[in-house]
Amino acid sequence: MSGSLEVWIASLLTLMVFSFLWRDNPLYKFAEHLFVGVSAAYFMVLAFWSTLWPNAVVKLVPAAVRVTQPGAEPGAFEPLAIVPVLLGLLMLCRLWPRLAWLSRWPTAFAIGTTAGYNLTRYLRTDFLNQISTTVQDGIVVQQAGRVAWGGTLDQILVLAGTVCGLVYFTYSRPHRGYYGGMARVGVAFMMVTFGASFGYAVMGRVAVLVSRLQELLGGWLGLL
Amino acid sequence: MRRRGADWGARLAGLDRRWIYLILAAGLILTLLTGLRLPERPSILVEPLYERVENLPPGSPILLSLDYTPSTAPELEPMAFAVVRHALLKGHRLCFVSLYPEGDNQIARVTEGVIAREFPAVRAGRDFAVLGYKAGNEMVINALAQRLDSMYAGDLEGRPLAELPALAGVHRLADFALVVAFSAGTPGLKEWILFAGDPLGLPLGGGCNGAGAPQFLPYFPHQLLGLMGGIKGAAEYEAALRLGHPEFHQRTMRATEGMGPQAVAHCIIIAFVLLGNLGLLLSRRRREDAT
Amino acid sequence: MRRLIPRLILTVVGVVLVLTPFFVRPEAGGRGPLPVFFAYADENFSVWFNVLAVFAFILGGANLLRTHALRVRERGRDWPYSLLTLVAFTAVLVLGLFKVGGPPGLQGSVSHGDSALTWIFDWIYMPLKSTLFALLAFFVASAAYRAFRLRSWEASLLLAAAFVVLIGRTPFGVTLTAWLPNVLRFLRLDELSIWIMKVPNTAGWRSILIGISLGVVAMSLRLILGIEHAVLGGRR
């Protein structure tokens, strides 16, 4: 068994969270609320020192660089760095109901930035390039000058599955007749997709559980 | 006989979930205590990434983005460890960034757990640079695509980028020979593909958690040259590293060790699904008998 | 006015960034006032967004403080736990902002190996976050037992694919079907699981990605053109 105080603290906190599996209880609530407080402050601290300090404070007050690096030479003053700071302060106005309407300005900037970038990125990467990837390798796969029937069948299936999946997602036309048949094929591909996703999701969840059990059994109890 | 079957159907339908928890936990604990270890081999999804790292000219700059949290570190940390080992073995220069607040600490675990222990001659600043976390999600990637110094004035210790030999000749993302993003959500590998890999034509490899792996298959191999999916992907990269560099046989086993309990857990869950359906079948027969 | 200015900001920023890829083309040399303006916007809007994100964290933290402080003051339900949250939040904030435990003063990285923040990350934050996530493994097992029913051909197909992937992506999958001859190697569970990922899964996710991309483009256009009012507090 480990003699380290830190290992005991980590292990006891782990067991407190696992106690929820029996039922909700004060130990679990203690761990949960401790986590909420610690994580919120942790995010704020990291965000401040990693981004706000070097990209806003130091750019507006170059001499401030000596606070964290005593021998450093101050850089150039960048007046436009005040823009995001002002927008950020407007965002904090959300805390006061009378001034909350001011927070729409930075929200609008954030949404405009995201919408502007995403429109072109998604159109290029997830629309145009996904379509070109589906067709650019061709349908017939050749290896060493001969047709590879397995690869060719796979290409046909990928093309057919993609088209049928898109047909299924198009609800503006009733799924009847040939169109309905294609939609049903699309459903079949979706079911296999979701089954594969479920399998991988289980794998991911179990991996974390295995890791915690390894810490408890090995790091704490010394059984591994 | 039918009546007994019907009773079992009701029992199975009403099984307390805590029995399920107990059986799953017991299965995993027993497997861990027995130390079950099963062989692995690399798949066609992982091999291209391994080959790229293996065949890059020595001294090539590689960007590693550690975009995961402690909740997904069990899957992604072994991948990061394995890729870092491989890259340093081949003499490549590394640059660590992160889009998650936890990134600084996750990077420290890699630098202390792998570099400091296994490559004592490798120096921070000269052979690898730790730039760390920046807030802003995918906008950080977009800013780095223009200029590294638009977001980073220096590394985590405050050394200016221009004074880091590890980043000699690197001024923007396109100057890296390879980018590998280890990601477990948003922002992550998807954003790296959208904002860097695809628009800039960057060689981009990825590692992701299990739950996210299926969605990246459409990007392979044209927009994503290799993909390590979940702990299985990590184990496959470790296997590739052991095959190519047998001197790492003992050190590259972390994900592989987890695959034994993983396999047992999967079997238990499949058994529960089948058991649940057996209960449904028995209940249906009871209803048919009643009518 | 209260809605007009935000809508103008959104539209102008959105239009500038949509036009940027068409003006900022390295192969064209990037000279001239328009390419310079768009390159400046492309780079700096990202940086401004990142700084704004920090204020979002600060807003979240302030909101958390206010909610829990109110609960403590009014002795609301579970108020002792709210007090714990406040104490933990304040302690980590002070330890982190003043870089306690690291190099002297405010020098060095906030996540320095010797810092109090790193200790908290390694021994409190990491175990709690990992274990909270690990609970999901139990819940997935319980949900699979209760919800996965073979009531239809679609459910059967989903389960069959899930079983192949669950077994095929583990070493058991290799062992169980390694005996199959080469002519039937496509039926080996490990190869079958890879095939499922590479063919039907790729086809399914590709159609999902294409559909989502069209949705993103449509929504982005609606936002930039001012058709979508709800996001800035307007009526639909």
Residue C200: HSE in the Cβ half-sphere, 13 Å Cα cutoff? 22
Helix (H, G, I), strand (E, B) or coil at B59: coil
Q: What is the pLDDT along chain B (291 residues), one digit of tens a residue?
A: 555 555 777 777 778 889 999 999 999 999 999 988 888 889 999 999 999 999 999 999 999 999 999 999 999 999 999 999 999 999 999 999 999 999 999 999 999 999 999 999 999 999 999 999 998 889 899 999 988 988 898 998 888 999 999 999 999 999 999 999 999 999 999 999 999 999 899 999 999 999 999 999 999 988 999 999 999 999 999 999 989 988 776 666 788 888 889 999 999 999 999 998 888 888 888 777 777
- Give Dmax over CA atoms of chain C in angstroms: 75
Q: Write down the pLDDT at residue C228.
A: 85
Cβ contact, residue pair C82, A33, below 8 Å: yes
- Comparing CA positions, the residue from B146, B114, B153, B111 lying closest to residue B130 is B111
| d(C-alpha C213, C-alpha C231), whole Å | 20
Instruction: Kindly tell me the sign of the dihedral angle through the C-alpha atoms of C1, C3, C9, C12.
Output: negative
The verdict on B21 and B112 lying in the same domain is: no
pLDDT tens sequence across C41-67: 888 898 899 999 999 999 999 999 999
Q: What distance in Å separates the CA atoms of residue B209 and residue B229, rounded to the nearest whole number?
A: 6
Flag whether residue A152 sits within 8 Å of chain C, measured between CB atoms: no
At residue A47, what is the residue type?
Answer: A
Closest alpha carbon to B79 in B223, B225, B247, B205 = B205
Contacts of A113 (CB under 8 A, 6+ apart): B139, C13, C14, C17, C45, C46, C48, C49
Here the tokens at position B166 are 């590890």
Position C179 scores a pLDDT of: 87
A158 in contact with C at a CB cutoff of 8 Å? Answer: yes
Burial class of residue C221 in the structure, from the number of CB atoms within 10 Å of its CB (0-12 exposed, 13-18 middle, 19+ buried) = middle
Half-sphere exposure of B115 (CA within 13 A, CB side): 26
Provide the number of structural domains found in chain B.
Answer: 2
What residues contact residue A98 under an 8 Å CB cut-off, 6+ apart?
A: none
In a domain, B283, yes or no: yes
**Pair B31, B52 in one domain:** no
Residue B215: give its domain's CATH number: 3.40.50
- Write out the residue range of the structural domain in which residue B275 sits: 2-37+259-290
Per-residue model confidence (pLDDT) at position C25: 63
Residue B217 lies in a domain: yes
Together in a domain, B109 and B244: yes
CB atoms A208 and C136 under 8 Å: yes
User: What DSSP element (H or E) covers C15?
Assistant: helix C4-23
Residue B269 sits in the same domain as residue B165: no
Alpha helices in B119-253 (DSSP H): 138-146, 189-192, 198-200, 230-244
B171 within a domain of the structure (yes/no): yes
**Do B24 and B168 reside in the same domain of the chain?**
no
Give the number of beta-carbon pairs within 8 Å between B and C: 166
CA–CA separation, A182 vs A21, rounded Å? 45
Closest residue by Cα to residue A141 from A132, A130, A133, A150: A150
Is the backbone of residue C173 left (phi > 0), alpha (psi -120 to 50) or beta?
alpha
Q: Tell me if B122 is assigned to some domain.
A: yes
Please write the tens of the pLDDT for every residue from C128-170: 999 999 999 999 999 999 888 888 999 999 999 999 999 998 8
A130 vs C12, C50, C209: nearest CB: C209
A142, β-bridge pairs: A147
Assess whether B73 and B212 both reside in one domain: yes
C235 confidence band (pLDDT: 50, 70, 90)? low
CA A101 to chain centre: 29
Quick one: B120 and B26 in the same domain? no
The verdict on residue B173 lying in a domain is yes
- Residue B107 domain-assigned? yes
| CA closest to B270 among chain A residues | A199
Residue type for A212, please?
R
Q: Are residues B56 and B195 in the same domain?
A: yes
CB within 8 Å: B280 and C149:
yes
**What does the pLDDT read at residue A17?**
97
Cβ separation A205–C133 shorter than 8 A = yes
- State the sign of the Cα–Cα–Cα–Cα dihedral B78, B82, B87, B91: positive
Which of chain C's residues have a Cβ under 8 Å away from the Cβ of A56?
51, 54
Chain C: partners with 3+ C-beta pairs within 8 Å: A, B
Flag if B71 and C149 touch (Cβ within 8 Å): no
φ, ψ of residue B127 to 5 degrees: the values are -105, -25
Give B123→chain A minimum CA distance, Å: 21
pLDDT band at C177 (very low <50, low <70, confident <90, very high): confident
pLDDT reported for residue A150: 84
Cα Rg of chain A (Å, integer): 28
Burial B211-233 (b: 16+ CB within 10 A, else e): bbbbbbbbbbeebbbbbbbbbbb
Q: Nearest CB to A29: which of C81, C105, C208?
A: C81
Cβ-based burial of A71 (10 A; exposed 0-12, middle 13-18, buried ≥19): exposed
Chain B residues inside the 8 Å CB shell of C206: 218
Measured CA distances, B139 to A220, B187, C18, C24, C232 (Å):
41, 10, 15, 17, 21
Q: Are residues B248 and B195 in the same domain?
A: yes
Find, among B133, B177, B135, B188, the residue nearest to B155 by Cα.
B133
Whether residue B42 is contained in a domain is answered as: no
Quick check: is B281 in a domain?
A: yes
Chain A residues within 8 A of B99 when measuring between CB atoms:
none
Residues in chain B within 8 Å Cβ distance of C138: 20-21, 24-25
A74 to chain B: which residues are within 8 Å by CB?
Answer: none
Instruction: Quickly count: other Cβ atoms within 10 Å of residue C87's Cβ.
Output: 14
Q: Are residues B81 and B189 in the same domain?
A: yes
First vs last C-alpha separation in chain C = 18
Mean pLDDT of chain C: 89
Kindly state the tokens that stand for C191. Answer: 């190869």
Q: Which of C13, C128, C217 sits opposite A122 (nearest CB)?
A: C217
Calpha distance B224→B234 (Å, rounded): 17
Q: Which chain B residues are Cβ-neighbours of A133 within 8 angstroms?
A: 218, 222-223
Burial class of residue C73, CB neighbours in 10 A (0-12, 13-18, 19+): exposed
Q: How many CB atoms lie within 10 A of CB C171?
A: 22
pLDDT tens digit sequence for A153-200: 898 999 999 999 999 999 888 888 999 999 999 999 999 999 999 999
Q: Residues B15, B62: one domain?
A: no
Beta strands in chain A (DSSP E): 142-143, 146-147
Interface touch A203/B133, C-beta < 8 Å: no
Question: Which residues in chain B have their CB less than 8 angstroms from residue C133's CB?
Answer: 71-72
Chain position carrying tokens 């969270």: A17
Whether residues B246 and B266 share a domain: the answer is: no
Q: Which residue has the higher pLDDT, B171 or A137?
A: B171
Pairwise CB contact (< 8 Å): C47 & B108? no
